[in-house]
Homo-oligomer: A and B are copies of this chain.
Amino acid sequence: MIKRTFAISLLSLSAILAPIYASAANEPIQPIKAVTPENPDVAELGKMLYFDPRLSKSGFISCNSCHNLSMGGTDNIKTSIGHKWQEGPINAPTVLNSGMNLAQFWDGRAKDLKEQAGGPIANPGEMAFTHEMAVKVVASIPQYREHFKKAFGSDTVDIDRITTAIAEFEETLVTPNSKFDQWLEGDKNALSADELEGYKLFKSSGCTQCHNGPAVGANSFQKMGMFKPYETKNPAVGRMDVTGKEEDRFVFKVPTLRNVELTYPYFHDGEAATLEEAVDIMAKIQLNREFKKDEIAKIVAFLKTLTGEQPKFDLPILPPSTNNTPRPQPF
């Protein structure tokens, strides 16, 4: 479990006392909260597992392969590469700030990060392993068992603990202190004139109806194609796959716009290569509006102010397999 606390810098503290903050508090977007794991040993174990390709059948694909923390928590390709180079069905969403998502996956089929973490491991198109084998691999490594003991009180390894640990690590992956958050917290000079105009346009044209809250999205499911249908060759139908209801066809989780500068390409099919293209299409199909080129440029300038401080940590060193560890089967 995780404690969320507002990151209160000296700057924001003075902002609390200043009248400006009262108006910032009325903005549709709130600053990112800093996160402290309640159990750092669980998060530390989760970090190792997140980077460990031995959770895949091939021994080559880890969580970090597609949710690469060097690259905004994504893989920056349209759809991901799975076991034996299978072409994934959908764009990998960023893991950054994903603890704020109302549910996980584009269609929200996992209720939380823990439930999500088990998915790719056992998905034949992704890591192509089984939970049983993943547990067997990890349990065969004494140094891992020591970490489980430290984290959970006993050295039992099971999939519940593996996914709990990965989720605990993922909860720490927040990106506070973006230029926009500095502005929200009272630093009027944090945004340029263009960035601020972009934000005003983002609000006044209705983007914040869906992209709001601390994650600037991620808190509702919405239909893609409110005014005009979204044209795509991607067969995903979104929420309908979960609820079975026709009205949920093309309803997807609204993605977070935090760090959107880093999480290209865009949309569930990854077909929008640039932010300019994504803003243009969103305006047309969701708001029935055609932005001019300079309006798009300003909104994009604003969106780039949502890039926060990226999680900073040592590359984890993984404990070696033993003679009893099942070997990977890459080919």
Contacts and interface: CB of A to CB of B under 8 A. Distances in A.
B58 A328 contact: no
25 contacts: A52-B70, A59-B76, A59-B77, A60-B81, A70-B315, A70-B318, A71-B318, A72-B320, A76-B321, A76-B328, A77-B330, A84-B85, A87-B330, A87-B331, A261-B320, A262-B320, A264-B320, A264-B321, A273-B323, A273-B327, A312-B314, A312-B315, A313-B315, A314-B315, A315-B315
A248 interface: no
A contact patch SS: loop
A324 B13 CA distance: 41
A274 interface: yes
Contacts of A51: 70
A316 interface: yes
A117 interface: no
B330 A81 contact: yes
Contact of A77 (B78, B317, B328): B328
Interface string A295-315: 000000000000000101111
Contacts of A331: 87
A75 interface: yes
A69 interface: yes
A197 interface: no
A58 B81 contact: yes
A131 B75 CA distance: 22
A324 to B, nearest CB: 10
A187 interface: no
A276 interface: yes
A35 to B, nearest CB: 18
B84 A60 contact: no
